[in-house]
Amino acid sequence: MKKLALHWKILLGMLAGVLFALLLTNFDWGAWFIGDWIKPFGTIFISSLKLIAIPLILAALIKGIADLKDISSLSKMGMRTISIYVVTTVIAVSIGLTVVSLIQPGKTINEDTRTELVEAYGGDADAKLQAAAAQKESGPLQALIDLVPSNIVSAASSNRNMLQVIFFAVFFGISLILIPEEKAKTVKEFFDGLNEVILKMVDLIMLAAPYGVFALMAALVVEAPSPDLFAALAMYGVSVVLGLLLMVVFYIVLVKVFTKKSPTFFLQGIAPAQLLAFSTSSSAATLPVTMERVTEHLGVEEEVSSFVLPIGATINMDGTSLYQAVAAVFIAQAFGMDLSFGTQLGIIATATLASIGSAAVPGAGMVMLVGVLGYAGIPEAGLALIFAVDRPLDMCRTVINVTGDATVSMLVAKSQDKLGDPKVKNWDDTYVK
């Protein structure tokens, strides 16, 4: 009997979690039981992935850069990677603006519904506004200042400092290239071995993935807001999801045209990472699995994937930028505002830059959205209008973020002539090597 592929196990775990939660919500003690006895296993699963995110980036990125042999290869790959990331982000924002302008979901929000949502979620929106206000107080070059850590140990203690860890890894890797080969050999071998150990830890953690997503989905169902509020924002959710689906089509076209790989090959190869991204809402937590799938199952050589994917998990947020465009216009429509073409062009630029600075953790897009709203003159209190459905949409846009990272890694690998056959012959199964 053929072994069930990992992505099907994860999907079954998600469905089982939803059904289990729906069943237990019929009992008074159901929500309490899931919160106290089921959700912790989902939390442990996410924590285990976050546990290895920083070591994985350090080991894989230093190894990848050191394997390039010379600085010119690094600069060429870096320019191609960042250029493609920026282009795909601009396209994502443009798709979002087009979809929301055609569907106009904000026109369906009436005054009574708006008042109810603001009252229900005003407190959560205020927390996001305060976080965004702290960012506004910083100077124009604060992002550049934050890029360079003053203490690598302190920077590596938090997944939110991933850009600082990447900076150190790149700096370390470049220095490793510049010293004599005989002196660098021992260090390279250490990081080679460390990288293999971390990848094996990924394999072991992913054995628990179906059970982890079961717990996460069960907790999400019992913690979801009122169904009436979801119904009021259904058209907004449809607009975001439609835009995200169009981005998937765009990625498939890119892969087919530039790498000659079939859509089935690409989607089945990246499916477990997509499903994990959906259940965790975190590109950073999904990064170990994304790297394993892209390298082992999509044929991208490790020196490319170990450079492109950690950077992508930090700055390439196509799903987040598309969502910000849709959310900004939706809130404007809900408040009866008409945005000019010039303002919408500004939203493209602002959302692109905001997505680059967005942390690869759940809910970060809501904080960055404040900057987009502020630029367009849209009432920031409108955050309360979309908070009810932000969590499930956050799950969906994280899938696009991860899919975009995988797509760009294949494009860069193809341009570097480092895209080959999958290392795993049965690439539909993570653990057959």
Secondary structure of residue 429 in the 3-state scheme: coil
Q: Which two tokens stand for residue 385?
A: 């209008």
Q: How far is CA 186 from the centre of its chain?
A: 34
pLDDT digits (tens, 9 = 90+) for 198-217: 878 877 887 888 898 898 88
Query: Average pLDDT, whole number, for the chain?
Result: 79
Cα separation, 402 vs 251, whole angstroms = 11
Given a contact cutoff of 8 angstroms between Cβ atoms, the answer to whether 191 and 64 are in contact is no
Q: What percent of the chain has pLDDT over 90?
A: 24
Q: With 0-12 CB in 10 A as exposed, 13-18 as middle and 19+ as buried, what is 133?
A: exposed
pLDDT digits (tens, 9 = 90+) for 321-369: 898 888 888 888 777 677 777 777 777 777 776 565 454 545 455 556 7
Long-range contact list for 141-149, CB < 8 A, 24+ apart? 143/357
DSSP single-letter state for residue 337: -
Q: Which helix (H) or strand (E) holds 230?
A: helix 227-232
- What's phi and psi for 300, nearest 5 deg? -80, 130
Secondary structure of residue 384 in the 3-state scheme: helix
Residue 430's pLDDT is 43
Compare 262 and 421 and report the one with higher pLDDT.
Answer: 262
Asked whether the predicted pLDDT for residue 263 surpasses 90, the reply is yes
Residue 228's pLDDT is 47
Long-range contact list for 119-125, CB < 8 A, 24+ apart? 120/225, 120/226, 120/229, 120/384, 120/388, 121/225, 121/383, 121/384, 121/387, 121/388, 122/381, 122/384, 124/384, 124/387, 125/380, 125/381, 125/383, 125/384, 125/387
Q: What is the mean pLDDT of residues 373-399?
A: 73
Q: Return the number of other C-beta atoms located less than 10 Å from residue 363's C-beta.
A: 17
pTM of the predicted structure, to 2 decimals: 0.71
All structural domains of the chain with their residue ranges:
6-415
Q: Could you list the beta-strand ranges (E) of 216-291.
A: none
Asked whether the predicted pLDDT for residue 319 surpasses 80, the reply is yes
Q: Span 6-415: which CATH code?
A: 1.10.3860.10
Classify the C-alpha dihedral 336-391-290-198 as positive or negative.
Answer: positive
Q: What is the mean pLDDT of residues 156-181?
A: 82
Residue 217's pLDDT is 81
Per the listing, tokens 């072994």 go with 3
Q: How far apart are the first and last CA of the chain?
A: 18
With CA atoms as reference, report the closest residue to 398 among 297, 298, 279, 305: 279
Q: How confident is the model at residue 249 (pLDDT cuts 50, 70, 90)?
A: very high
